[in-house]
Amino acid sequence: MSLIEQFHGSATDGTKLTAIYAEQPSANVAFALIFPGDDLPRLVHWGRPIAAPRESTILSLYDALRPQRVSGALDETAWPSILPTQAESWIGAPRFSVRRAGAELFCKFTVTDIAVSKPVSDGWFVPDTVPEGKEADVATRPVDVAAGVHADGSSIIVPTVVVSAQDAEQGVGIRWTCELDESGLIRQQLTVTNLVGDAADLEIGQVELGFALPAIATEILTTTGHHLRERSPQRQPLTIGRFEKVSMAGRPDFDASLLLTAGVPGFGFEHGEAYAVHVGWSGNSVLSAERQPYTQGVIGGGEVLLGGEITLARGNEYTTPWVYGSYGDGLNEIAARFHHYLRSRHPQLVVKPRPVILNTWEAVYFQHDYDTLTALADKAAATGVERFVVDDGWFGSRRDDTSGLGDWQIAQDVWPDGPKSLRALADYVHGKGMEFGLWFEPEMVNPDSDMYRAHPDWVLRPTAGRLPMQGRSQQVVDLTNPDAYDYVFGAMDALVSELGIDYIKWDHNKLVTEAVSPRTGRPAVHAQTLAVYRIFRDLKAAHPGLEIESCSSGGGRVDLGILEFADRIWVSDCVDPVERADIQRYTSLLVPPFMMGEHVGASPAHSTQRATSQELRMTMAFFGHMGVEWNLLKEPADAVAKLGEWIAEFKKHRAWFAIDTCVHADTDSAVRVDGMVKPDRSAAFYRFTQLTTGQTYPAAPVRLPGLDPDGVYRIQPLWLDLDLDGLKLGNGQSPLGWWTKDGVLMSGRALATYGLRPPSIHPAQSVLFTAIRQ
């Protein structure tokens, strides 16, 4: 059971101390805070639980870690609090910036209240007391904790700390909330309040929350990328100074780093102590890592606000997005915490097996036709597809990407009323036992559209006379305008009801630049992001069971903000399986595979023109939310039949994939090993992929992470008769000894150390095999 304790005492210099220690034993994670006097707290421990935490062992962390005064600096050496300012000697990049009448305020915060939620016997929460000596000054109040229950009725335990503080002289109040989730994630959030009314409004410039790093964390890992190649890893040392990844496109975008991870040099998926942060926000944001000569490192992030975007009158508040922290011995453990968290937020997706999808985009593009799509639906149903999604091109004048966007009325020249209407197609799909899905891009509009011609004021624009630079012939609809919001929501709501839509593919193809609302004359990225969340929420409330996919030119909007509402993300517009090997691997640092759209496409791939085997395309889609992005009407019968066999095999295991632990092995650059391990470690699936030729020939033995080291496992190929372009496994020179129906028996410890020899296969080939505990 989780615990949270408060301790009181004094430092050797007489400073009154309050300490808070929180622990999630099942997640093997704990953190500790220390409040010196009435100052904001310092994070003095984040990692494995402390054995027998007591007042003496926790409070002593203050004396153990507090830096001495040094020459040439301020009288107190910087020791960053949870919100460091210059008043506590922080001279790094500003992490808290507010202004009145354009003038910067330098705040010194005094803690006025500490409220701690402590789990009791039934798993719910009671408030703890304020620090010793402050009882007369501060009123204790309960903490509003977002507590819930598991599917089995047991309580969700989230130890929570809420710290209230203020700079009374300058009229600025803050409330910091920190939660330790059952997954082992720590998440923090700050609310800023304007406490005075006889002065200018309070403008919020920057609020960047962070986590203190231990000195051993001297290497950072982020991801970079572009359209069709999202989330490519990059590493560098964490030196003195600041590293940051800024997203300023109104979405995280392709170059965004889902996580910023700092750890011991050389940390990998399997081993290496590391600390990762993520900003759960779908608008402008920053992730940063910083180390100063006088102090320890800090990693964190927050929303990036444009000038004038948030101004607070007296009593008004601004609340930051959640900033998440994940600790682990290797990236697999760090990722598992995010996966656990998302499963707990979307239990319905775990209970309902993920339906196999066919999406029509790469099958027909804009060439919509009732007869073609019903024939494609026949093929889809015959192969085991359970959800048929009609992509872009069904509305307005939308025969290409230059017009019609925003006119959310069914195109009568393509889908006239009658027996071949879009409603008839939806009914046909439902009659085949499949769900019906439809593509929308609700946040965007083509200037060549009836919507724009009628309401040019419904578009975000820097001035009345100038539009932002277009992207894909599009502009951004100002969803902060109630009239525009009502139009978009009303059109979608009506179509979901009229057509019986089960699933929305929600796209977002235009970078949000120069985003000023004509209604207010102010930048509106923050309000626009909240409006997007609202429309997701409103649609789902109006249509229980409706699922929505977040697509943003593929993988341009992947974050825990949108994933609070979305049921799935489209990983990338590139379905080339060679490219997908790493795109999916690094997306899984945040997103569990069962929420990742992984599709079997055509060969050659439309995005790269690379030709690949059907087996590689199917293995690369096998662990995720499987789908098909392929015109089956143009494929030979044997290829369609083979696809059906793989879909049937996927369905046997997908319920487990939804709760399995996703693991990756650390290998050389030529090969990849990815796996899905049952929670009790009784069985696992592994995928071995030979991406390119390697320095070792045949491939070196590979380790299989995630198994019980004391267990004995039978390793067997999934498809014994697999034929990769005529190449029988065993490379034609000699057989691979364990690639038989009986496989080979090995201990989990041996598999995690020296491993086993993989098949010798050509580049751009992949195989699946299982490990079953005996």
Q: Find all residues with CB under 8 Å of 471, minimum gap 6, and list them.
A: 509, 510, 511
Query: What's residue 139's pLDDT?
Result: 27
User: pLDDT digits over 214-231, tens only?
Assistant: 999 999 999 999 999 999
Task: Provide the mean pLDDT of the chain.
Answer: 93
For residue 717, pLDDT over 80 is answered with yes
Q: Which helix (H) or strand (E) holds 542?
A: helix 525-542
User: pLDDT digits over 397-435, tens only?
Assistant: 999 999 999 999 999 999 999 999 999 999 999 999 999
Query: What's residue 728's pLDDT?
Result: 56
For residue 120, pLDDT over 70 is answered with no
Query: What's residue 247's pLDDT?
Result: 97
Query: What's residue 561's pLDDT?
Result: 98
Note whether 367 and 313 are within 8 A (CB): no
| Position 576, amino acid | D
Burial of 149 by CB count in 10 Å (0-12 exposed, 13-18 middle, 19+ buried)?
exposed
Give the sign of the dihedral formed by CA 334, CA 335, CA 339, CA 345.
positive
Rounded distance between C-alpha atoms, residue 598 and residue 624, angstroms = 6
Rounded distance between C-alpha atoms, residue 215 and residue 297, angstroms = 7
For residue 193, pLDDT over 70 is answered with yes
CATH number assigned to the domain covering 665-773: 2.60.40.1180
- Would you call 35 helix, strand, or coil by DSSP? strand
For residue 134, pLDDT over 50 is answered with no
φ/ψ (deg, to 5) at 404: 90, -15
Query: What's residue 121's pLDDT?
Result: 33
* Secondary structure letter of residue 424 according to DSSP: H
Residue 751 CA, chain-centre distance (Å), reads: 30
Confidence at 735, pLDDT banded by 50, 70, 90? confident
Task: Look at 141 and 316; give whichever has higher pLDDT.
Answer: 316
Query: What's residue 128's pLDDT?
Result: 34
Note whether 505 and 625 are within 8 A (CB): no
573 carries an active-site annotation: yes
φ/ψ (deg, to 5) at 765: -135, 155
Q: CATH for 3-345, among 2.70.98.60, 3.90.1010.10, 3.40.50.300, 3.40.50.720?
A: 2.70.98.60
For residue 733, pLDDT over 90 is answered with no
Rounded distance between C-alpha atoms, residue 716 and residue 738, angstroms = 7
Confidence at 137, pLDDT banded by 50, 70, 90? very low
Query: What's residue 724's pLDDT?
Result: 52
Confidence at 157, pLDDT banded by 50, 70, 90? confident
Confidence at 295, pLDDT banded by 50, 70, 90? confident
| Percent residues over pLDDT 70 in the chain | 93
Structural domain boundaries of the chain? 3-345, 665-773
Note whether 127 and 226 are within 8 A (CB): no
For residue 389, pLDDT over 60 is answered with yes
For residue 154, pLDDT over 70 is answered with no
Rounded distance between C-alpha atoms, residue 266 and residue 243, angstroms = 18
Query: What's residue 123's pLDDT?
Result: 32
Beta strand residue intervals within 609-665, DSSP E: 625-629, 661-664
Catalytic-labelled residue, pool 573, 576, 582, 674: 573
DSSP 669-716: TTEEEEEEE-TTSSEEEEEEEE-S--SSSSPPPB--TTS-TT-EEEEE
User: pLDDT digits over 49-107, tens only?
Assistant: 999 899 999 999 999 999 999 999 999 999 999 999 999 999 999 999 999 999 999 99
- The structure's pTM equals 0.95
Query: What's residue 309's pLDDT?
Result: 98
Query: What's residue 133's pLDDT?
Result: 39
Query: What's residue 150's pLDDT?
Result: 56
* Secondary structure letter of residue 410 according to DSSP: B
Out of 122-136, 246-260, 382-396, 687-701, least confident range: 122-136
Catalytic-labelled residue, pool 255, 329, 407, 507: 507
Note whether 410 and 665 are within 8 A (CB): no
Rounded distance between C-alpha atoms, residue 287 and residue 258, angstroms = 9
φ/ψ (deg, to 5) at 244: -145, 150
User: pLDDT digits over 3-29, tens only?
Assistant: 899 999 999 999 999 999 999 999 999
Query: What's residue 132's pLDDT?
Result: 37
